[in-house]
Amino acid sequence: MPQSETRLIVSRVAGNDVDELTLRVSGEVRAWMTRRGVKQQEIALRLGITQPSLSMRLRGRTRWTINDLVIVAEALNVPVSTLLISPDDGLGGAHTDQQ
């Protein structure tokens, strides 16, 4: 991950913006799951958690770990950075045309 992306994440966490960041990441994961046609059960199995536990993450009620996001990105065939940047940042996110 480029340093600029790392700084973006760290600055948001340090600024107590964790809940917003969790919601934004969850939104990106949901959008890419839809785009790729990947079901919650498949992601849950890869993460080694139950589907209801994944649902909590997808609703922003439980924070994502870096390891979670690496596994999810691999399942969705996208770079981890894609899940960390929303379209509002103007740097990528679910509305880019990655295939």
- Which tokens hold the place of 30? 């949901």
| Domain around 44 | 3-84
The pLDDT of residue 21 is 87
CATH number for the domain spanning 66: value is: 1.10.260.40
- In angstroms, the CA 22 to CA 24 distance is 5
The pLDDT of residue 18 is 60
For 6-60, the pLDDT digits (tens) are 445 544 555 445 688 899 999 999 999 999 999 999 999 999 999 999 999 999 9
In a domain, 98, yes or no: no
In a domain, 20, yes or no: yes
In a domain, 73, yes or no: yes
**70-83: average pLDDT:** 96
The pLDDT of residue 27 is 94
pTM tops 0.75, yes or no:
no
Q: How much helix, strand and coil, in percent to the nearest 5, is found in the chain?
A: 65, 0, 35
In a domain, 25, yes or no: yes
In a domain, 33, yes or no: yes
In a domain, 94, yes or no: no
Give the phi and the psi of residue 77 in degrees, each rounded to 5. Answer: 60, 45
The pLDDT of residue 20 is 87
Give how many domains the chain has, as a whole number. Answer: 1
Give the phi and the psi of residue 98 in degrees, each rounded to 5. Answer: -80, 140
